[in-house]
């Protein structure tokens, strides 16, 4: 009897230990990208300035995203490969966070020739999304290709690629400080599920920062 | 005993055979769909809003589909009151047999009250395509 109660106590103690350790606080999202440290100052990878125009001919700059977090991708409207799948996943995110004003969406077109503002307007309307929350932008094509790198995405003209453009299906999450905090493969449902949890984490972070 | 064993083995094998055929009709059509169509019309066949039409509950006839899938269409396609401005690409390398399998897959999957389409019918329709 004595050894049995000892076993029970040990078991109880061990399971309490395991249980509490599993409930440890979830870590914050990392800040992705190269960082430089000078003395006590750390400079993180930051999205640079940009000026684009959206489907309503509104000028879109970093100021558009002040105090907001946003999801980024690169696409073109006549894309025959990954874009419809990536867009349908983005729509899933958009609908999931339909009432979240702090989350915006920024889709860059990599096709400067065919994706004019009117075409982007039709595209956005066809997807049934609100232009105040989801910006479809065009602009100086070199600026778009360059900024793709800052978003850790690929975007360039390639006559050999289907549709004529080579671009990644990546979705990137940017915080209120223009830092990249998460990304996922927009063609992978499970990866997008994980990405949506990261969006929640970032929104929670905004809550606690207030 | 030998015959009973053999018989029951045969019975089991045929059960498996028919089971697999039942649970996966038009597997060839599904394969073509996944490789050639699901990029745009998406794996669930629902398309993308008013950019790319959904294949669900389509009222288009298999005759229309035979020609459309084979030859594509570059002017506006209208379906269920929505005008789609994007091109439907041609798939001239798909044979009449491929098209038959594909259409049967799509209809079986997403169009209620649809009927099985035979290769002979598809061949006839293809001969009378407006585009061809």
Domain spans in chain B, listed from the N-terminal domain onward: 28-127
Proportion of chain A above pLDDT 70, given as a percent:
94
Task: Please indicate if any CB of chain A lies within 8 Å of the CB of B52.
Answer: yes
Assign domain B28-127 to its CATH architecture.
Answer: Orthogonal Bundle (1.10)
Q: What are phi and psi of B50, to 5 degrees?
A: -100, 10
Strands A155-157, A165-167: parallel, antiparallel or unpaired by DSSP? antiparallel
Q: What does the alpha-carbon distance between residue A20 and residue A36 come to, in Å, rounded to a whole number? A: 37
Given CB atoms, is B48 within the 8 Å cutoff of chain A? yes
This prediction's pTM: 0.82
Is pLDDT above 50 for B29?
Answer: yes
Sequence-ordered alpha helix ranges (H) in chain A: 2-22, 83-96, 117-127, 141-150, 189-209
Predicted confidence (pLDDT) per residue in A63-114, tens digit = 999 999 999 999 999 888 899 999 999 999 999 999 999 999 999 999 999 9
Q: What is the mean pLDDT of chain A?
A: 91
Contacts of B41 in chain A (CB under 8 A): 84
Using one digit for the tens of pLDDT, what is the confidence trace for B76-118?
Answer: 888 778 888 888 999 999 999 999 999 999 999 999 888 999 9
Mean pLDDT over each residue of chain B, to the nearest integer: 88
CA of A101: how far to CAs of A68, B7, B13, B55, in Å? 8, 68, 59, 33
The DSSP code for A112 is T
From the list B39, B85, B87, which residue is nearest A84 (CB)?
B39
Structure confidence at residue A124 as a pLDDT band (50, 70, 90): very high
Confidence class for position B17, pLDDT limits 50, 70, 90: low
Judged by DSSP in three states, B8 sits in: helix
* Residues A143 and A74 sit within 8 Å (Cβ to Cβ): no
- Cβ-based contacts of A122 with chain B (< 8 Å): 85
Given CB atoms, is B86 within the 8 Å cutoff of chain A? yes
Per-residue model confidence as pLDDT tens digits over A142-194: 999 999 999 999 888 888 888 889 888 999 999 999 999 999 999 999 999 99
Task: Choose, out of B39, B44, B47, the residue to mutate when testing the contact with A (most A CBs < 10 Å).
Answer: B39
Q: Please say whether the beta carbons of A138 and A126 come within 8 A.
A: no
Q: Which helix (H) or strand (E) holds B9?
A: helix B2-23
pLDDT of the residue at A24: 47
Q: Which residue of A has its CA nearest to B43?
A: A85
Residue B21 has a pLDDT of 53
Comparing alpha-carbon positions, the chain B residue that sits nearest to A128 is B49
Burial (CB < 10 A; 0-12, 13-18, 19+), residue A78, is: middle
Residue B50 near chain A (CB below 8 Å):
yes
- Is the complex ipTM more than 0.95? no
């Amino acid at each position: 009897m004595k050894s049995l109660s000892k076993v029970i106590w040990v078991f109880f103690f061990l399971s309490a230990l395991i249980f509490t350790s599993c409930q440890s606080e979830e870590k914050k999202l990392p800040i992705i990208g190269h960082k430089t440290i000078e003395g006590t100052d750390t400079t993180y990878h930051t999205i640079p300035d940009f000026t684009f125009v959206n489907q309503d001919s509104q000028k879109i700059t970093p100021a558009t995203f002040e105090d907001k977090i946003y999801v980024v991708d690169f696409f073109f409207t006549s894309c025959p490969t990954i874009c419809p799948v990536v867009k349908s996943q983005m729509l899933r995110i958009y609908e999931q966070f339909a009432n979240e004003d702090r989350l915006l969406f920024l889709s860059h077109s990599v096709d400067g020739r065919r994706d004019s503002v009117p075409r982007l307007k039709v595209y956005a309307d066809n997807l049934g999304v609100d232009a105040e929350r989801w910006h479809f932008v065009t602009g100086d094509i070199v600026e778009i290709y360059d900024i793709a790198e800052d978003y850790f995405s690929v975007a360039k003209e390639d006559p050999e690629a289907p549709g004529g453009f080579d671009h990644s299906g990546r979705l990137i999450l940017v915080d209120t400080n223009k830092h990249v905090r998460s990304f996922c493969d927009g063609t992978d449902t499970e990866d997008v599920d994980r990405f949506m949890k990261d969006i929640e984490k970032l929104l929670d972070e905004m809550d606690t920062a207030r | 005993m030998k015959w009973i064993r053999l018989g029951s083995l045969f019975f089991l094998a045929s059960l498996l055979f028919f089971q697999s055929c039942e649970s996966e009709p038009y597997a060839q059509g599904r394969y073509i769909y996944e490789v050639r169509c699901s990029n745009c019309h998406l794996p669930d066949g629902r398309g993308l809003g008013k950019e790319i039409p959904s294949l669900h509950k389509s009222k288009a006839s298999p005759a229309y589909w035979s020609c459309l899938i084979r030859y594509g269409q570059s002017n506006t396609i209208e379906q269920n009151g929505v005008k789609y401005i994007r091109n439907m690409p041609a798939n001239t390398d798909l044979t009449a047999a491929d098209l038959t399998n594909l259409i049967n897959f799509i209809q079986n999957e997403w169009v209620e009250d649809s009927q099985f389409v035979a290769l002979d019918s598809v061949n006839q329709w293809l001969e009378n395509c407006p585009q061809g």
